Amino acid sequence: EIVLTQSPATLSLSPGERATLSCRASQSVSSYLAWYQQKPGQAPRLLIYHISKRATGIPARFSGSGSGTDFTLTISSLEPEDFAVYYCQQRNTLITFGQGTRLEIK
């Protein structure tokens, strides 16, 4: 099983700041890495797939990067609606999710 480890567990930032979220895989996941945003009481929303491709309707302030086992989700300038929990997910070998990073308002 491929384990995805996200860091930090919680990130406290202010609107307008840049957010950098990390996802590390226990073995290579090739390009099969996605990111989701989840707000309380809602289903997750796909943000990024194949490391860096934005899903339909996702603002340009969200970007993904990385390769092999180390990946990053960057939010260039935080909007109030961006404060949520973020998950990474791999599809290289079956499917696993990371444990999540909570992005909270400082």
Partner 1 sequence: QLQLQESGPGLVKPSETLSLTCTVSGGSIGSSSYYCGWIRQPPGKGLEWIGIIYYNGNTYYNPSLKSRVTISVDTSKNQLSLRLSSVTAADTAVYYCARLPIACDAFDIWGQGTMVTVSS
Shortest distance, position 26 Cβ to partner 1, whole Å: 15
Quote the tokens at residue 78.
């935080």
User: Minimum Å distance from CB 77 to partner 1?
Assistant: 24
Nearest-approach distance from CB 33 to partner 1, in angstroms: 9
Rg of the chain over Cα atoms, rounded to whole angstroms, equals 13
CB atoms within 10 A of CB 93: 14
Smallest gap from residue 98 Cβ to partner 1 (A): 8
CA separation for the pair 38, 43 (Å, rounded):
6
**Which residue matches tokens 């070998």?**
93
Say how far residue 15 (Cα) sits from the centre of its chain: 18
Is the CB of 22 or the CB of 38 nearer to partner 1?
A: 38
Our CB check for partner 1 shows the closer of 83 and 90 to be: 90
Q: For binding to partner 1 (CB under 8 A), which residues are involved?
A: 1, 32, 34, 36, 38, 43-46, 49-50, 53, 55-56, 87, 89, 91, 94-100
Minimum CB distance to partner 1 smaller for 71 or for 87: 87
Name the amino acid, one letter, at 1: E
